[in-house]
Each structure stands twice: as structure tokens, then as C-alpha cells.
């Protein structure tokens, strides 16, 4: 069926490395793609409309944008009017010829409030006319090479457009594009550690690890309260977090004992897990990386919801969130796990992607890959349908937005 397709996403970051939007990547079921463009369009159209009308504002909370690829036929179709123009940037693919009709159509869409981006831009007679209409230009730095990128970036500076560097894979590339003055960045440079060197776990991390271990061992409330009192930043964050809308509590929390009683050990454990990741904010961890970790935690948990109960669900969240700790702390995962008393099943998933939780983590990671090459086989192995996967994906995003991480 043409409307069975997996939806992926890749964050678009600003110069402060904050996420301003997501490019939504549609990977059609292999049977839905044929040589004729119409079936490709039909599949893309169905998925797009179904997804975006279901998403509504729930997914696009706050000021996030959805970047969506559109080819010739999609640009001409009137289903685009069903989307929310202020929330959507239409990426015109490089294969689209700038005919007078299409230029007029792009102008009309821009007039309705849609953002217009030119994907994989290169200066050609076909693409140049679109420059007058676009407000985003995307340059594929791998395809162009840094030297050409610098020249092209300079050439298009005379147009009032936001420049987006695509396929940024290393810190060096990010820095080079940043220095050239690019406005936005895409690519997984922040999730690929170059080399792992042991970073000393600072006091804040050590305290969080200590508390996590105490909770695992069912320590007394008094001991937990004392441990919380020792770390001002930690205790402040705890109270602020619990009193935030994300937790939906009806009363103000005024003491740690109260907090622990109301939250219970499971929820406190989950909160500390989140904190361990977000504590990186003071340690130069890019905000987008933390967001990826927290989203991954929620996604792994939601995937597992279909099959597992109780503590397994909390463990799934821990597995997802902790799976990027090696990148954040710049330490090998084995080393980190020596400091954490985690169940063997969690360690198996984190170290080798095996055991009861491993495949759920693999699936969440596969969803982050722009190519989404492994999503289908892993999802099928887990008996997760495209609908389930896309619903969980959207729910995870919405949850993280609501949490305000």
C-alpha cells in the first residue's frame, strides 16, 4: 500500500546549535516505488498529508519548522494547501527546472507563508531563477567540497537567504562552515565522537551516579534526601523540574523528602537519568545532542511499550538516554558502566545492542539515520508496523518539546 512509509527526521540547527526545525525524510516502502513518478508522488502525498494532518500543532510545538522535500509534481499538486504554511519549509529538489509556471507557483506558495528552500544548491541556469524566491539555500558540503562551498556561499550572500550547510560530519567541518557565516547546519557531526578520551567525571556527574546507585539498591529516603542536600545545583534542578508543567503535578513540592515521596523511586530514577544527560549543558555538550539523547530514550521506551510492562519500560528509557553518554562524557561505554550499577540487560543493550532491550535501541538509532536504511528490517523483526513507528516517533518529539529540554 502506498501510504505505508517510514518517516525519519534530521534536526536543523542554528549557530548556537539549537534545533530550529526537522527535515522530515520519507522512505517509501520498496514496493511502493516504481519507475513512474506518479506512484512515488502518490505515496509521498498520502504519507505527508496523513502524517502532517495527524501531527497538527501537537508535534510542531513551539517554533519548530518541518522541512519537506518537494519535487516537480508535488509542487504543482494542490495538496500542499493542506499543510500549515507558517510551520513548513518546502525544499525544492535540485532536479526541478525553473519554468515560468513553477516559478510562479513557488512565488504563490511563498506568498501563502511557506518557507522555500533550495536543496543541494549549485549555480546553474535551471536553479538561479529560484534564488529570487527562496529564503533558505542548502549546500551539500560533502558533494561540493569545502573550497567550493566557501566560494558559492560568498556568491549567494547578495541574496537575502538563510544559508544551510548540509552533511556536516565532523567538528572541523562544522567550525569551517561556522566561520564562513552559515546560518544553519544539518548532519550528525555532534553524534560521531572522533576519538574517545577518558574525561574525569566531575562532582555533579559523580553525585548523580551515586544517587542512581542508591535508588537501584533501595536506599532509605533519609539517605537519598541527604545526598540531594549535598548538591545545591542538583537539588535546585530537581525542585524546578518537578514543579514544571512536564510532570503535571497538582501541588508545589517544598522538600526533598516530599519530592521523593511524591515521585517515588522509579520516577526519581528516570529524572536523574534525564539529568545525567542534561547536566552536560554546563559542560559544552551541544544542546542538539542532549535533545537527541532524551528523544531517543522516549522513543526506545515507546517502542517497547507495545511488548513490555513495568520496570522494563523504565529500563528502556534508561537504555535510550544513556546510549549517547560515551559521546557526551568522551569516555568508552565500558568505563561509564563501571560507575553505574545497571542491570545486566541494560548493559547488554548499551554495549552490544543485544538482549531484550537491544533491538529497540537499534530501531531508535536507525530512525536517526537520514538514509533510514535499516529501519524496515529491524521494525519487521520487532513486529512494529510503519503506523506504530511513525506514531511513536511523533509522540516522542512532542514529549521532548513539552519537557522543554
Same fold, 5-189 and 203-403: no
Per-residue model confidence (pLDDT) at position 188? 74
Q: What is the pLDDT of residue 46?
A: 58
Residue 122 pLDDT exceeds 50: yes
Tell me the per-residue pLDDT of 73-92, one tens digit each, with 9 for 90 and over: 788 877 777 677 888 899 99
Is residue 283's pLDDT more than 60?
Answer: no
How large a percentage of the chain has pLDDT more than 70? 77
CATH level 3 topology of 203-403: Hypothetical protein af1432 (1.10.3210)
Contact 177, 148 (CB under 8 A): no
In this structure, are residues 89 and 68 in contact, taking their beta carbons and an 8 Å threshold? yes
**pLDDT band at residue 322 under the 50/70/90 scheme:** confident
- What's residue 109's pLDDT? 95
Q: Which of 4-18, 44-58, 215-229, 280-294 has the highest mean pLDDT?
A: 215-229
Write out the CATH class of domain 5-189: alpha beta
Distances (CA, A) of 138 to 123, 157, 242: 12, 13, 40
Q: What is the pLDDT of residue 338?
A: 80
Calpha distance 206→274 (Å, rounded): 15
Helix pair angle (358-368, 287-305), 10° resolution = 130
> pLDDT band at 342, cuts 50/70/90?
confident
Residue 56 has pLDDT above 80, yes or no: no
pLDDT value at position 252? Answer: 62
Domain ranges in the chain are: 5-189, 203-403
Closest residue by Cα to residue 22 from 206, 229, 164:
164
What's the pLDDT at 190? 56
pLDDT at 259: 76
The pLDDT of residue 48 is 63
Which tops the pLDDT comparison, 282 or 266? 266
Q: Name residue, grid cell 512565488.
A: 107
Task: Report the pLDDT value the prediction gives residue 2, as an integer from 0 to 100.
Answer: 40
Q: Rounded mean pLDDT of 91-108? A: 90
**pLDDT (0 to 100) of residue 27:** 60
How much is the average pLDDT of 48-62? 53
370 vs 368: CA distance, rounded Å: 6
pLDDT score recorded for residue 201: 56
Greater confidence (303 vs 327) lies with 303
Q: What percent of the chain has pLDDT over 90?
A: 32
Average pLDDT along the chain: 80
d(CA 141, CA 124): 17
Of 193-207, 302-316, 322-336, the range with the lowest mean pLDDT is: 193-207
pLDDT at 34: 36
List Cα–Cα distances, 180 to 65, 121, 284, in angstroms.
24, 17, 22
Average pLDDT over residues 4-11: 72
> Once rounded to an integer, what is the mean pLDDT over residues 4-12?
74
Q: What is the pLDDT of residue 303?
A: 95
- What pLDDT sits at residue 114? 95
Q: Is the pLDDT of residue 53 over 70?
A: no
Residue 269: pLDDT band (50, 70, 90) is: confident
Q: What is the per-residue burial (b if ≥16 Cβ within 10 Å, else e) of 284-298? A: ebbbbbbbbbbbbbb
Q: Output 146 or 400, whichever has higher pLDDT.
A: 146
Is residue 377 predicted with pLDDT exceeding 70? yes
Amino acid at each position: 500500500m502506498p501510504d505505508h512509509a517510514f518517516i525519519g527526521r534530521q534536526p536543523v540547527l542554528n549557530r548556537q546549535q539549537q534545533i530550529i526545525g526537522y527535515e522530515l525524510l520519507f522512505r517509501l516502502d520498496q514496493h511502493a516505488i516504481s519507475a513512474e513518478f506518479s506512484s512515488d508522488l502518490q505515496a509521498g502525498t498520502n504519507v505527508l498529508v496523513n502524517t502532517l494532518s495527524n501531527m497538527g500543532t501537537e508535534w510542531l510545538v513551539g517554533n519548530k519548522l518541518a522541512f519537506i522535500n518537494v519535487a516537480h509534481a508535488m509542487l504543482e499538486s494542490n495538496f500542499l494547501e493542506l499543510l500549515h504554511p507558517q510551520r513548513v519549509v518546502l525544499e525544492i529538489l535540485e532536479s526541478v527546472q525553473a519554468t515560468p509556471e513553477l516559478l510562479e507557483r513557488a512565488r504563490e506558495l511563498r506568498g501563502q507563508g511557506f518557507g522555500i528552500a533550495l536543496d543541494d544548491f549549485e549555480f546553474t541556469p535551471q536553479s538561479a531563477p529560484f534564488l529570487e524566491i527562496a529564503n533558505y539555500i542548502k549546500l551539500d558540503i560533502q558533494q561540493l567540497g569545502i573550497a567550493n562551498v566557501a566560494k558559492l556561499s560568498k556568491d549567494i550572500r547578495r541574496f537575502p537567504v538563510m544559508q544551510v550547510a548540509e552533511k556536516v560530519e565532523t567538528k572541523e567541518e562544522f567550525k569551517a562552515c561556522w566561520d564562513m557565516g552559515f546560518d544553519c547546519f544539518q548532519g550528525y557531526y555532534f553524534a560521531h565522537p572522533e576519538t574517545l578520551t577518558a574525561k574525569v567525571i566531575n562532582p555533579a556527574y559523580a553525585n548523580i551516579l551515586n544517587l542512581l546507585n542508591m535508588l537501584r539498591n533501595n536506599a532509605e529516603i533519609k539517605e537519598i534526601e541527604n545526598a540531594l542536600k549535598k548538591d545545591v545545583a542538583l537539588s535546585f534542578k530537581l525542585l524546578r523540574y518537578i514543579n514544571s508543567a512536564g510532570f503535571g503535578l497538582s501541588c508545589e513540592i517544598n522538600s526533598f523528602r516530599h519530592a521523593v515521596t511524591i515521585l517515588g523511586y522509579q520516577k526519581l530514577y528516570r529524572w536523574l537519568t534525564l539529568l545525567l544527560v542534561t547536566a552536560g549543558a554546563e559542560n559544552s555538550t551541544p544542546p542538539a545532542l542532549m535533545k537527541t539523547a532524551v528523544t531517543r530514550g522516549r522513543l526506545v521506551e515507546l517502542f517497547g511499550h507495545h511488548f513490555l510492562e513495568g520496570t522494563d519500560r523504565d529500563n528502556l528509557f534508561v537504555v535510550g538516554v544513556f546510549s549517547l553518554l560515551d559521546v557526551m562524557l568522551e569516555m568508552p561505554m565500558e568505563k561509564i558502566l563501571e560507575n553505574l550499577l545497571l542491570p545486566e540487560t541494560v548493559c547488554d543493550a548499551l554495549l552490544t545492542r543485544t538482549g531484550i532491550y537491544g533491538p529497540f535501541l537499534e530501531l531508535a538509532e536507525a530512525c536517526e539515520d537520514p538514509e533510514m536504511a535499516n529501519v524496515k528490517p529491524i521494525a519487521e523483526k520487532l513486529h512494529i508496523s510503519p503506523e506504530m513507528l511513525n506514531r511513536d516517533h511523533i509522540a516522542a518529539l512532542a514529549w521532548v518539546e513539552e519537557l522543554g529540554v
